[in-house]
Structure 1
Amino acid sequence: MAGRARRGVALAMGALLFAGFTALGAWQLQRLAWKLDLIARVAARTEAAPAPPPSPETWSGVTAKRDEYRHVRIAGTFDDRRQTLVQAVTALGPGYWVMTPLATADGYTVLVNRGFVPGPEQAPASAQPHPAAVTGLLRISEPHGGFLRANAPAAGRWYSRDVAAIGQARGLRGLAPYFIDADATPNPGGWPRGGLTVVRFRNPHLAYAMTWFSLAAMVALWGAWPAIEAARRRRAPRTDLSAPDGLRT
């Protein structure tokens, strides 16, 4: 009786594990569908013809889901005197992103990531504002800078492209809540190098789903194994051990 009770408890636990693993596998399939849709939407944005970025009256509705990686084009006036160098590691090695405010004719300002420089000496250093037109990808602000490397505006150390913090440190008014990654159009002197935006999304959800479903299958096999063994024994041919050796079949 005790053995039967233990068997019942074990089967109940197995049923719970099976249900849990199956639910996790189904959840990963849902995540897979979401990720594939995200990849398709972002690809459509990056490959579309460039359009004006969101204007001030629509800033409150700007979100990563709807707007990030939109292909945009904007014209205005760069002010190198208020640019900010943000530490970065790229395919070209360690260095800095050059974040320069671009004042538009419509009265608002957008931070533009003009690209990568290996050192401060390669950053643009015009003494006067100068006109420019930029084509690139809209990006959402990157606040804080991380747990171990928080931005230190007073010390001039920046680890993330935090639009609001940079705007406050540089005294920028009417600043858009996003920034623009400039494309690979060459700059005078070769620096900064634009077009280094990484548009790549990890998509391990199918592998995760297969792992959870495999675990569910293993639990199901474990629970069904006694019945499988019993059926196998019933099908196995019987040998009559009481018969003489010469008459055994």
Structure 2
Amino acid sequence: MRRLLFLMTFGLMGAGILISLGTWQVQRLSWKQDLLARIEAQISAQPVPLKEALEPSFQRYAPVEVTGAFGSEHIRMLASRRTTGAVHRIIRPFDVEGFGPVLVDTGWQMDELDVRGAPQMRLTLIGNLDAPNEADKFTPAPDIEAKLWFARDVPAMAEVLNTQPIMVVLRDAPETDLGVTPWPVDTAGIPNDHLQYAITWFSLAAIWVLMTAYFVLRTNRSPR
């Protein structure tokens, strides 16, 4: 009897812990879905002037409209697209009227192509503010001479291109061909694996209950 009581108690406690973990992941799933919906709504909202998107503080993903002109320099950043393979993000300085130079991630092109010069004229761009944090201790140092980088390190890129440490990711450049394909901000890069985690925990709970039932029945049938 004591052995049966121990097995049942141990089994119920284990199942309870696993079920609570699965329930927590369901709650996290609801929170993440709400967060992604709010970010998507913010990304696609009506663009505002850059100064407005920076007040009272930097608003990541805020849609902005900037008018000014590109500088002649650029940075290539090695990246990868799922359906394309290796590509280069092309990042340029853009002198915003009434504000000053900022970084603009103009989009991507195949890595074997030469970088086309930016049009030297007054342009209006629509994009989103972003603060990518891609560089870590494993990221190779950029090849400054070749203008080749391996992560979007906004402060470091701003220093090289002599801009403010602010990045606008291009969404649209009306009636302007920059020689690249825009790679606008979206929520695809924000992980949302909570459903898979919840299914895993609930599956483990079911297995735990079945195994507990098996050992209880086996113990109860064993000769005294």
When the two structures are superposed, what TM-score results if normalisation uses the length of structure 1? 0.71
Pair 1:190–1:100, CA change in 2 (3 A): closer
How far apart in 2 are the matches of 1:124 and 1:104? 18
How far apart in 1 are the matches of 2:179 and 2:84? 12
**Paired residue for 2:107, among 112, 115, 123?**
115
Deviation per CA, 1:42-78: give whole Å up to 9, x if none.
221233222223559637x33xxxx433322111221
The reply to whether residue 191 of structure 1 matches residue 179 of structure 2 is yes
Q: Counterpart of 2:40?
A: 43
Kindly indicate which of the two structures has a greater share of residues assigned to helix. 1
Residue 25 of structure 1, CA deviation:
0.6
**Paired residue for 1:70, among 62, 67, 71?**
62
Pair 1:35–1:45, CA change in 2 (3 A): same
Supply the AA of the counterpart residue of 2:116: A
1:101 and 1:111 in contact (8 A); partners too: yes
SS of 1:183 mapped into structure 2: strand
How far apart in 1 are the matches of 2:49 and 2:38? 18
Larger radius of gyration: 1
How far apart in 1 are the matches of 2:72 and 2:102? 13
**Paired residue for 1:220, among 202, 209, 215?**
209
2:109 and 2:181 in contact (8 A); partners too: yes
- In structure 1, list runs of 5 or more residues that go unmatched: 231-249
Q: Counterpart of 2:197?
A: 208
Pair 1:186–1:150, CA change in 2 (3 A): farther
**Paired residue for 1:180, among 160, 168, 187?**
168
CA RMSD of aligned residues (A): 3.2
Residue 27 of structure 1, CA deviation:
1.6
The reply to whether residue 164 of structure 1 matches residue 155 of structure 2 is yes
Deviation per CA, 1:4-61: give whole Å up to 9, x if none.
55444433432332232022112201210111112211221233222223559637x3
Supply the AA of the counterpart residue of 1:99: I
Which one has more relative contact order, counting CA pairs under 8 Å at least 6 apart?
2
Q: Counterpart of 1:17?
A: 14
Pair 1:192–1:44, CA change in 2 (3 A): same
Deviation per CA, 1:77-134: give whole Å up to 9, x if none.
21022x21111223444221111111222233321111112245233256xx532211
Q: What percent identity do the matched residue pairs reach?
A: 25
Which one is further off, 70-79 or 195-204? 195-204
When the two structures are superposed, what TM-score results if normalisation uses the length of structure 2? 0.77
